[in-house]
Amino acid sequence: MNTAKVLRTLSAKCRNCYRCVRVCPVKAIGVSDDQAYVNADRCILCGTCVRECPQHAKVYRNDIDLASDLLQGEKVIASVAPSFSAVYDGWKARNLPSALRKLGFFKVTETAEGAALVARQTEKMYREATAPTAAICTACPVVVSYVEKYRPEHLDKLFPVVSPMIAHARFLKAYYGPDAKVIFIGPCIAKKREAERAEYAGDVNAVLTFSELDQWLARENISLETCAESGFDSIGKVGHAKLFALPGGMLKTMGIAQDGTQLEVMNTSGMENLKILFESPDILKDLEIIEPLVCNEGCINGPGIDSGDNLFHRRANLISYAARRPVLLSERESRDVDVTLSADFHTGENVNEDFNEDRIIKVLSRMDKSDPANELNCGSCGYSSCREKAKAVLRGMAEIEMCVPYMRKMAEQRMDKIIASSPSGIVILDHALNILAMNDSFCKFFLCGNNLLGRNISYLLDAHNFEKVATGTQEFAEEIIFCYGENFHQIVYRLPDENQYVGFFTNVSGTLITEEKIDTLKNETISKAQELLDHQTKTAQLMAKFLGESTARSEELVERLISSYEES
């Protein structure tokens, strides 16, 4: 079994958007050096971050090579989760067993057989309970992980029964022999970690998602279209266990009525609903049995599914498959086998640590939130409140710089420092051209101070450029102005959102080319150009003269030669 980390972040793809932090229901995503990472101790492998990351930077461990290596041996059995029929609809579901046999599987079976065992054991415990108390079904490994890590006070409410995957693997090895290997194929990435639990060592030899199965089939050039219709190697009947992937499917398999109107029976899906339920002791006290699934609408929405069908199509596909009589290669009642279905759940590492109030306040102060009024609780950092963000900082899983309002304020302060220390003079005016602010350089250039705040700019200098921009005559104005014995390069523009005006002034005295100098330069250039033109004209005329004289002499010589020839 590959025990490497199940979930990780591809740093090259991570864009530091904090979306994974926001959507993680247990805040198991940390940020360090502007990169998100998964804290395995806190993660319950619900797969929300995998599904929600816009850059596809969250990826889970690929175990195709492990499964492929296992198939080099004998008696490797595929255990296919009940949700397969939601993903591989119609003829694809009927052809899938043949495709798996082409990969090399010895037997191809449905995990629904294990689900039927789990339902039977859970129902027995429920019926034999001596006192009515909220009992929680344990088919979903994410629910178990959440209770162990975050709600240990409810551990005693968990049915001590293994999941269908573990039950089925144990059953298959008891039936086909201890040398058989089992590869589970389903929609859930949490199954990868569940198979690695110490108490389940050796039960499941590899776990693949449906996405991995698709990749594997493509790699081996196996197309479902070219595979023949076939059936699973079934051992006995499974009843309604094929519905386990849907909310209420387990209760239905147990024969417990649950149409939504029973006060003492509940099925629920979705992490948010689950959290509310476990945080509401007044609700739990009225319940006798709860069937929870973490993925919304159940396992048909697992993170290991790439199907383009929407949830309602998947649901319809599964229900249709469960209702039909399947094609079976072999159907026989299972002989008595010794299968242990009991489970032992235990409290995980302390992830709900409390922090001293003084430490929290110190972190809030670093984020400029000493005053509770500054605790905006905007959620832009990914946390529900500023205090939760402060706890994450103390936990080493968040950075102060993740606070967007704080960073904006810091940027504004840095901008204020830049403006204040700028060598250029800067003045900001309101809609009526009254002075709102001016930096030190402006005050130095125009011999003024803050006592002029609120006065009109015309008090200090000619305001005609500001007026041009204010009236819309020009979008911006630029001019060399002379004021207080100095030459200034003036630029004026408008801030439309604030309805304010900004003036920049740069002292260009000593480096300024005045209009007078420019005119002199123009005149000198024109004079030199005219002189060059006259010289070229005279040269051309002189060359023409020489050319004409030469031509005349040549003509005279030729005429003499002709005359001499005629005389001879």
**pLDDT reported for residue 286:** 84
Q: What is the side-by-side order of every strand in the sheet holding 486-495? A: 435-438, 425-429, 500-507, 486-495, 476-483
Residue 466 pLDDT greater than 80, yes or no: yes
The SS3 call for residue 32 is strand
**pLDDT reported for residue 526:** 60
**pLDDT reported for residue 558:** 46
Mean pLDDT of 95-120: 96
Give the tokens for residue 44. 């319950």
- Average pLDDT in the chain: 87
- Asked if residue 276 is part of any domain, the answer here is yes
Greater model confidence, 512 or 385:
385
Pairing of strands 265-269, 232-233: unpaired
Give the tokens for residue 449. 């101070």
The range of the structural domain enclosing residue 566 comes to: 513-568
Residue 561 pLDDT greater than 80, yes or no: no
Residue 565 pLDDT greater than 70, yes or no: no
For residues 496 and 520, state if they share a domain: no
Q: Alpha-carbon distance 435 to 453, whole Å? A: 5
**pLDDT reported for residue 563:** 56
Greater model confidence, 214 or 306:
214
- Asked if residue 53 is part of any domain, the answer here is no
Pick from 365, 398, 421: which residue ends a domain?
421
Q: What are phi and psi of 139, to 5 degrees?
A: -70, -30
What pLDDT, in 10s, does the model give residues 164-195?
999 999 999 999 999 999 999 999 999 999 99
What pLDDT, in 10s, does the model give residues 29-76?
999 888 899 999 999 999 999 999 999 999 999 999 999 999 998 899
What pLDDT, in 10s, does the model give residues 487-506?
999 999 998 888 899 999 99
Assess contact for 107 and 5: CB atoms under 8 A. no
Which range, 181-190, 253-262, 463-472, 477-486, is most confident? 181-190
What pLDDT, in 10s, does the model give residues 418-464?
888 889 999 999 999 999 999 999 999 999 998 999 999 999 999 99
The SS3 call for residue 59 is strand
Give the tokens for residue 9. 């972040």
For residues 229 and 283, state if they share a domain: yes
- Asked if residue 519 is part of any domain, the answer here is yes
For residues 407 and 540, state if they share a domain: no
484 — pLDDT class (breaks 50, 70, 90): confident
Pick from 392, 421, 450: which residue ends a domain?
421
Instruction: Enumerate residues 6+ apart whose C-beta is below 8 A from 59.
Output: 7, 8, 9, 10, 50
Instruction: Enumerate residues 6+ apart whose C-beta is below 8 A from 65.
Output: none
Tell me the one-letter amino acid at 211: S
What pLDDT, in 10s, does the model give residues 228-249?
999 999 886 788 999 999 999 9
What pLDDT, in 10s, does the model give residues 256-306?
988 888 889 999 999 999 999 999 888 888 899 999 999 999 999 999 998
- Asked if residue 254 is part of any domain, the answer here is yes
For residues 392 and 448, state if they share a domain: no
**pLDDT reported for residue 568:** 46
Q: Alpha-carbon distance 218 to 307, whole Å? A: 15
**pLDDT reported for residue 537:** 60
Number of CB atoms found within 10 A of residue 541's CB: 9
| CATH number, domain with residue 470 | 3.30.450.20
For residues 139 and 192, state if they share a domain: yes
Q: Alpha-carbon distance 345 to 158, whole Å? A: 8
Pairing of strands 289-293, 135-136: parallel
| CATH number, domain with residue 372 | 1.10.15
- Asked if residue 163 is part of any domain, the answer here is yes
**pLDDT reported for residue 330:** 46
Give the tokens for residue 46. 């619900």
- Asked if residue 379 is part of any domain, the answer here is yes
Assess contact for 118 and 141: CB atoms under 8 A. no
Q: How many domains does the chain have?
A: 4
For residues 283 and 369, state if they share a domain: no
Helices (H), 377-514: 386-394, 404-421, 440-445, 464-470
Q: Alpha-carbon distance 418 to 144, whole Å? A: 55
**pLDDT reported for residue 355:** 86
What pLDDT, in 10s, does the model give residues 3-12?
679 999 998 9
Q: Alpha-carbon distance 474 to 467, whole Å? A: 9
Assess contact for 86 and 314: CB atoms under 8 A. yes
- Quick one: CA dihedral 449, 451, 453, 455, positive or negative? negative
| Cα atoms in the 13 Å half-sphere on the side-chain side of 89 | 17
- Asked if residue 32 is part of any domain, the answer here is no
Q: Is 236 exposed, middle or buried (0-12, 13-18, 19+ CB in 10 A)?
A: middle
Residue 331 pLDDT greater than 50, yes or no: no
Beta strands in 180-277 (DSSP E): 181-186, 206-209, 232-233, 265-269
Residue 386 pLDDT greater than 60, yes or no: yes
For residues 468 and 437, state if they share a domain: yes
**pLDDT reported for residue 528:** 53
User: Can you give the C-alpha Rg of the chain in angstroms?
Assistant: 41
For residues 107 and 173, state if they share a domain: yes
Mean pLDDT of 509-517: 63
- Asked if residue 18 is part of any domain, the answer here is no
Residue 316 pLDDT greater than 60, yes or no: yes
Q: Any idea what DSSP says for residue 229?
A: P
Q: What are phi and psi of 334, to 5 degrees?
A: -70, 135
User: Minimal CA–CA distance to 77: which of 200, 160, 165, 162?
Assistant: 165
Assess contact for 61 and 45: CB atoms under 8 A. no
pTM: predicted TM-score of the whole model, two decimal places: 0.74
Percentage of the chain lying above the pLDDT 90 cut: 63
For residues 172 and 278, state if they share a domain: yes
**pLDDT reported for residue 262:** 87
Greater model confidence, 70 or 568:
70
522 — pLDDT class (breaks 50, 70, 90): low
- The H-or-E segment that residue 489 falls in is strand 486-495
For residues 244 and 380, state if they share a domain: no
**pLDDT reported for residue 148:** 95
